[in-house]
Copies of this chain bind each other. A is one copy, B any other.
Amino acid sequence: MELSNYSKIFKALSNEQRLKIFMMIYKNCCSPEGAKIGSEFLLKEESCCGIKGGIDRAFSKICDCMSLSRSTISHHFKELQNAGLITCEREGQTYRCWVNKEAISAIREFLE
């Protein structure tokens, strides 16, 4: 991975609102069973990852936890996807989202 890819990832996480969105997805879908999620990242609506993993209706759930317009939140989702940090898959009218763990480990290794 090139330096510019890393800076792209860091840029995606450089906005506080976007970082919060990312952490809500991350903590609610990637925390080990039984781990407590800090209140700032806890989704109001309980998140049932189900068999497929990820978070269903992620966009809606996050909109309910933030005081930003849906338009703005949509842009932020796009940025996170472009940076390769999350993946979203259509599920009817809504989206299911995952954090790409490879991206996380890439950063961790970069800062080794």
Footprint of B on A, CB under 8 Å?
3-4, 6-7, 10-11, 13-16, 19-20, 23, 40, 104, 107-108, 111
A111: which B residues are within 8 A, CB to CB? Answer: 104, 107-108
Contact residue among B7, B16, B108 (Cβ-Cβ distance under 8 Å from A19): B7
Q: Is the CB of A3 within 8 A of B40?
A: yes
Q: Give Cα distance in the complex from A108 to B105, angstroms.
A: 10
Q: Is the CB of B16 within 8 A of A13?
A: no
Q: Is the CB of B4 within 8 A of A16?
A: yes
Q: Nearest B residue to A15 by beta-carbon distance?
A: B7
Min distance, Cβ A86 to any Cβ of chain B, angstroms: 14
Q: Is the CB of A16 within 8 A of B40?
A: no
